[in-house]
Structure 1
Amino acid sequence: MEMELRTAFTPWASLFGGSLIGLSAVMVMGLFGRIAGISGITQGFLGTVLPTPGAPRDRDWRLAFLLGLLAAPLAIMLGGGTISQSVPANLPGMVIAGLLVGLGTSLGSGCTSGHGVCGLARLSRRSFAAVLTFMSAGFVTVFVLRHVLRGAW
């Protein structure tokens, strides 16, 4: 049985979305002097909610940023747009993948948005190494899943 995977080619939507991501990163840096990395924003917000020593005290903008992440797809749907998302039925695989992403984010001192968007824009060597690492791991993972295991997962 041959597995077929198709990816939609959406250059205008991708350009618009990428521009909004870049604009938000510049705004967070300009307004708050912070990096717009989702893991850091979330960790900082949780540190203000759950008493943690050394937690930042800037909860409001972090909450607004996180709510914006949730509100954007809802706004698209309310405007008549559609969002299609497929989720694999392999719950144990998803749990393992989520834990590995969390571990990698912790070990790498940031996530793909923090390193890939903000770190590279700041010419950070550490972010460049992180981006090379997670892109390489992604390439290998896709190759193994699509060509070696042939969709067994």
Structure 2
Amino acid sequence: MIRETIQKEVIAAMKGGNKERTAALRLIQAKIKDRDIELRTAEKKGEDDEIVTDVLLKMAKQRKESIQMYRDGGREELAAQEEAELAVIEEFLPKQMDEAETKAAIEQVKADTGASSIKDMGKVMAELKNRHGATLDMSRTSGWVKESLQ
């Protein structure tokens, strides 16, 4: 399970004296714990790896946005710090589908759902997220779905 892997990596980073990696891993653990607290009152709880992957995907998206903002603002040192955190986060994420694989998945979902117009975009996006949620970059995928349905 991802959660245990992260815990082992924290211990290894601490023993190795890698302060930046330890800090990034502890940040990941804190976000996972926050999600656990949120889910205590939730009626439907997902699988543990699914929950952790969702947290990691959101963290990765935040880091990518921050990197872009820091670069636009000329703050390279902050962008570099965010990139280092992003690299640690991405170690625990499943391999993302490339453009060709994503477009093939879009075409498959279109065929399976009978989607033919832009009105069906929500249905296609929902099915893509259901089938390939953790391995798709949904922000890039939405553009390709829109392009495909026009």
TM-score (norm 1): 0.30
TM-score (norm 2): 0.30
